[in-house]
Amino acid sequence: MRLSQGYWQTLKETPSDADVISQQLMMRAGLMYKTGAGLYTIQPMAFRSLKKIEKIIREELDRINCFEIQMPVMTPAELWQESGRWDAMGGQMLKMKDRAERELCMSPTNEETVTDLFRRTVSSYKQLPVCLYQINTKFRDEIRPRFGLMRAREFCMKDGYSFHIDKASLDKFYDEIYVAYENIFKRLGLDFIAVEADGGAMAGGGAKTHEFQVVADNGEDYVVTVPRTKFAANIEKAMTVRKNLPLAPATELTKFATPGQKTCDEVCAAHGMPITQSLKSLVMHTLNNGKEQFFMVMLLGDDSLNEVKFQNKVSAEHVRPAQQAELDRLGLVKGFMGPTTEAQGFKVIFDEAIDMNSSYVVGANEADHHIKGFVPSRDTKPKNFRADMRMAKEGDFIGDDQIVLKKGIEVGHIFQLGDKYTKSMKVTVLNETGKAVTPIMGCYGIGVTRVLASAIEQNNDKDGIVWPASIAPYDVYLCYIGKTPEIKEVAESLFKELRAAGLEVLFDDRQLGPGMMFKDADLIGLPVRVVIGEKDFNASGEIEVKLRRSGETMKFQKADVVNNVKKKLEEMGKWL
């Protein structure tokens, strides 16, 4: 592409509403334009990169015999009503009516659509297993769209769905797609980890699920890792323990005044006690099959609740903290709640980090009062139980190893769904003996536009983007310094040669000063910059080749430029 005839605008200033580096660089480098909240127009440079990302995904999926389809973005309410998700999806699903008053939504995902397609087109085990995928627009009315393409409302996702006659077939395919995902993210040039994730109570026991996380400081997810054993799990899934906590021996229950001291921190600070000798009481509301229940979750004073673990433990469809009116109804006093109350209507769960025979401070369930000397095994009612409820944190152990917490951006997710959709949507196929059975499913997502943003989030420096070679918009930034027709001719001929060798070249023929050109070259961050400087070229016939990532600068005779550029691109992983 010749920049003199191109469409590319860069910004000098960093836009004030861009919160993370990838978003700032994408706006500054003219990769995207903000059309509305969480809605972005992909500009030509970014469009080229997106197509490369898609191509890598397609190649790896096609290699394991997946088939690409395209489902409609608008899907009818009936399908979602069948699976029960028309209501369950909540506010993130954007619903509307057509002129005939039929209800539709902008698809946030497509399990229902593909399951419906499957049941109308596949009838025998002989047609299984099969995996269908698409690379298509999704819409989710996220509460807090942010970080540009990282959490947008409209975004591009690769979503794949596989169907199997039994668990053995699903397991086999799961392993294949796991490897395909590893290949995809390697080829994309990303530093990623595959982490065990939480399958949720609904997916049933033994359902595997992994997230592919790009390691980045601005990630919204926490990953628990153990470097020695290569263990990696999503924080919601990781089972870790605390060690070496100072314990207090059992003493008598004693009520004491804690005026205005509503948190464990405040109580412990005011009375000179270690925070781990206090317990916080969180009251949660759960809903299952329309049935309401309340739980009081007890945690060490400096721990926090892992809602996913809680939800799995109590097998609920929805969980949330109890509201004030509900606490009133249960006879609980906010800020001073505790498990010693005679109040009925909830079960108490003790987190496993709590020592059941030591004494702790808990709320007295009376305004401005707490109780010390509370010993869980002695002072609670028989209905209570223990479970791992806490959020893992720095300092925890798995076995003898201390964990390392990392921040990640979830770019992909693979998931064994079981019969969740095939059962609710009444799908059957005939098995070998001619019996109608319910097939099971897996689903496999990649956030295509999120991949683009996270590639930039992970690969940049103070001057701009540093593209992984496989997904850079172009391979080479070619420019020349000098005004004579002769030097322009040299550049024109090199432009031709590089392109003839199959390379993608951004030819800066705008005749700007070198300062401006180099600034733009660094900002857009193509892997290789080739500069023909009139003085050097006339003196020695040398042309400069500079690598964006390492900063390495080389000089070549014109005849050697193309081969050396190719060699460097290969080393940088362009053709992985």
By CB under 6 A, is residue 420 in contact with ligand ATP?
no
Q: Are 64 and 57 in contact (CB under 8 A)?
A: no
**Which CB sits closer to ligand ATP, 180 or 565?**
180
Phi then psi for residue 295, to 5 deg, are -135, 140
Distance of alpha carbon 134 from alpha carbon 52, whole angstroms: 16
Neighbours of 168 (CB within 10 A): 9
Count the residues of the shown chain that bind ligand ATP, applying the rule CB under 6 A: 15
Residue 207 CB coordination number (10 Å) = 20
Q: Compute the C-alpha angle 330/332/333, nearest 5°.
A: 150
CB 141 within 8 A of CB 153: yes
Token readout for 61 is 């999926």
Residue 412 lies near ligand ATP (rule: CB under 6 A): yes
The window from 112-120, 149-157, 326-334, 365-373 that contacts ligand ATP (CB under 6 A) reads 149-157
The interface region with ligand ATP, picked from 147-155, 427-435, 464-472, 536-544 by CB under 6 A, is 147-155
Shortest-Cβ-distance residue relative to ligand ATP:
447
Residues 85-124 binding ligand ATP (CB under 6 A) are 109
Which of 160, 301, 447, 525 is the binder for ligand ATP (CB under 6 A)? 447
- Dist CA 415 CA 161 (whole Å): 10
Applying CB under 6 A, does 492 fall inside the site for ligand ATP? no
Report the nearest approach of ligand ATP to the CB of residue 209 (Å). 9
Site membership for ligand ATP, residue 151 (CB under 6 A): yes
Phi, psi torsion values for 312, nearest 5 degrees: -65, -40
- Strands 347-351, 385-387: pairing is parallel
- Least distance from C-beta 270 to ligand ATP, angstroms? 39
Q: How many CB atoms within 10 Å of residue 290? A: 6
* Interaction between residue 237 and ligand ATP (CB under 6 A): no
- Selected range binding ligand ATP among 329-337, 350-358, 406-414, 491-499, rule: CB under 6 A: 406-414
Q: Which is nearer to ligand ATP, 150 or 226 (CB)?
A: 150
Work out whether 450 is an interface residue with ligand ATP (CB under 6 A): yes
Select from 242-250, 386-394, 443-451, 457-465 the region that touches ligand ATP (CB under 6 A): 443-451
**Does 442 contact ligand ATP by CB under 6 A?**
no
Residue with tokens 């009516």: 97
Q: Does 157 bind ligand ATP (CB under 6 A)?
A: yes
Specify the residue, 68 or 497, whose C-beta has the smaller distance to ligand ATP.
Answer: 68
Does 445 interact with ligand ATP (rule: CB under 6 A)?
Answer: yes
Angle at 58 between CA 53 and CA 62, to 5 degrees: 160
| 556, 564 Cβ separation under 8 angstroms | yes
Nearer to ligand ATP, 209 or 278 (CB): 209
Regarding 140 and contact with ligand ATP (CB under 6 A), the answer is yes
Burial of 196 (0-12, 13-18, 19+ CB in 10 A): middle
Establish if 219 lies at the interface with ligand ATP (CB under 6 A): no
Q: Which stretch binds ligand ATP (CB under 6 A): 361-369, 399-407, 447-455, 463-471?
A: 447-455
Question: Considering the rule CB under 6 A, would residue 411 count as an interface residue with ligand ATP?
Answer: yes
Within a 13 Å sphere around the CA of 264, how many CA atoms are in the beta-carbon half?
20
Spatial distance between the Cα atoms of 375 and 359, rounded to a whole number of angstroms? 5
Asked if residue 129 has a cis previous peptide bond (ω within 30° of 0), the answer is yes
Window of 148-156, 339-347, 458-466, 495-503 that interacts with ligand ATP by CB under 6 A: 148-156
**Residues at the contact surface with ligand ATP, assessed by CB under 6 A:** 109, 140, 142, 151-152, 155, 157, 410-413, 445, 447, 449-450
